[in-house]
Amino acid sequence: MSLIDWMLNLAGLILWLGWRNAPPVGKRRSPGISIAATVKPMETARPRTWLLPLCLLALITLRSFFYWHIGSALDWMPRLPLAVVVLPFRSDFFGRIFLFSFLSFIFFLATFYFGLFLLSAVNRNIPDSDPAQRWIRTQLGWVERTPAAVLVIMPILLSGLGWAALSPPLVRMGLLPEPVSGGHLMQQAIVVGLGSILIWKYLVAALLVLRIANDYVFLGDLAFWRFVNATSRNLLKPLAWLPLRAGHVDFAPVAGVIMVMALFELGGYGLSQLYRRLPL
């Protein structure tokens, strides 16, 4: 069931990106001097962009009924992992399973955009001629023009604000214990916000592993591999001072994978323990 939920979230992300990337509504051409333009002004096709968000809403709603019927029969307890805390939802209550369906997609969408924030922040030196980086900048729009430090901090701020907004209704539903004070809620929001950047572990590790594979196996001179190599070099800049090269062999990507996995694992454990000890 968890794999099905992941695949449906991916389908929802494709619908979301299709809606975001839909071309603007065309305008009627101004009359030209040619006879054809005078006789019949042309008008571009009007894309039905409203269909995509409706399909996304239908996907979230219909899978809620599926989870409600099938999940309860399988005694499935869906969980939403938030790095430092896990939210359980009972599949035999439709209201809660609908909330899970909605929050599961929001979490999936946030994970996607938080990854784009990191790629945008570390790849400021990659020009728009690179198709992958140009696509990332198109997805982020005006947000991409903010300083790199703001992009790195933004997941923490957005996750913390989201936790502060969602905590009261989740407490009323019995999904979370009630904070003892406003300060306690603020501390929870800070820790949950810091935990949001732990999702970068898989993105960074995947890019470095792809870099290792491309270093030792020729996989073609494609734009994707040029993007992977450039991004991995930017990610490994903090290790440039270490003697990690022996002849033609560069051990920096391997060291980077080990360090990223270790640091993020330790960070996740530390934040989880800190969350359990709140309020301070």
pLDDT tens for each residue of 185-196: 999 999 999 999
d(Cα 251, Cα 27) in Å, to the nearest integer? 55
Which region among 154-158, 161-165, 222-226 has the lowest average model confidence (pLDDT)?
Answer: 222-226
pLDDT at 40 over 50: no
CB 28 within 8 A of CB 43: yes
If you average pLDDT over every residue of the chain, what do you get?
Answer: 85
Name the one residue in this structure whose structure tokens are 């991916």: 10
Q: Where are the domains of the chain?
A: 2-17+49-277
Report which of residues 270 and 221 the model is more confident about.
270
Name the pTM for this structure: 0.86
Q: So what's the pLDDT on residue 156?
A: 95
User: Does the pLDDT of residue 225 top 60, yes or no?
Assistant: yes
Would the pLDDT of 99 be above 90? Answer: yes
The pLDDT assigned to 271 comes to 94
Structure tokens belonging to residue 256 = 């980077």
CB atoms within 10 A of CB 241: 7
Q: Give the residue from 170, 172, 113 showing the smallest Cα distance to 139.
A: 113
Cα-to-chain-centroid distance, residue 118: 10
- Residue 48: name the closest of 85, 78, 22 by CA: 22
- Close Cβ partners of 99 (under 8 Å, ≥ 6 residues apart): 89, 173
Q: pLDDT at position 25, please?
A: 53
CB 107 within 8 A of CB 10: no
Please give the residue that has the higher pLDDT: either 127 or 117. 117
* pLDDT recorded at residue 155: 94
**Residue 54 neighbours by CB distance under 10 Å:** 12
What's the DSSP call for residue 145? G
Q: What is the mean pLDDT of residues 223-243?
A: 87
* Lowest mean pLDDT across 13-17, 162-166, 242-246, 267-271: 242-246
Read off the pLDDT of each residue in 115-120 and give the average, rounded to a whole number: 95
**In this predicted structure, what is the pLDDT of residue 2?**
82
Does residue 103 contact residue 195 with C-beta atoms inside 8 Å? no
**Which pLDDT belongs to residue 35?**
43
Cα–Cα distances in angstroms (integers) from residue 201 to residues 102, 171, 206, 217, 252, in the given order: 24, 30, 8, 24, 17
Query: Quick one: pLDDT at residue 153?
Result: 94
Q: pLDDT (tens digit, 9 = 90+) per residue, 180-220?
A: 999 999 999 999 999 999 999 999 999 999 988 887 776 76
3-state secondary structure 7-50: HHHHHHHHHHHHHHCCCCCCCCCCCCCCHHHHHCCCCCCCCCCC
Distance CA 190, CA 28 (A): 51
What's the rounded Cα separation, in Å, for the pair 211 and 180?
A: 48
| pLDDT over threshold 60, residue 43 | no
Mean pLDDT of 145-152: 92
Residue 140 pLDDT exceeds 70: yes
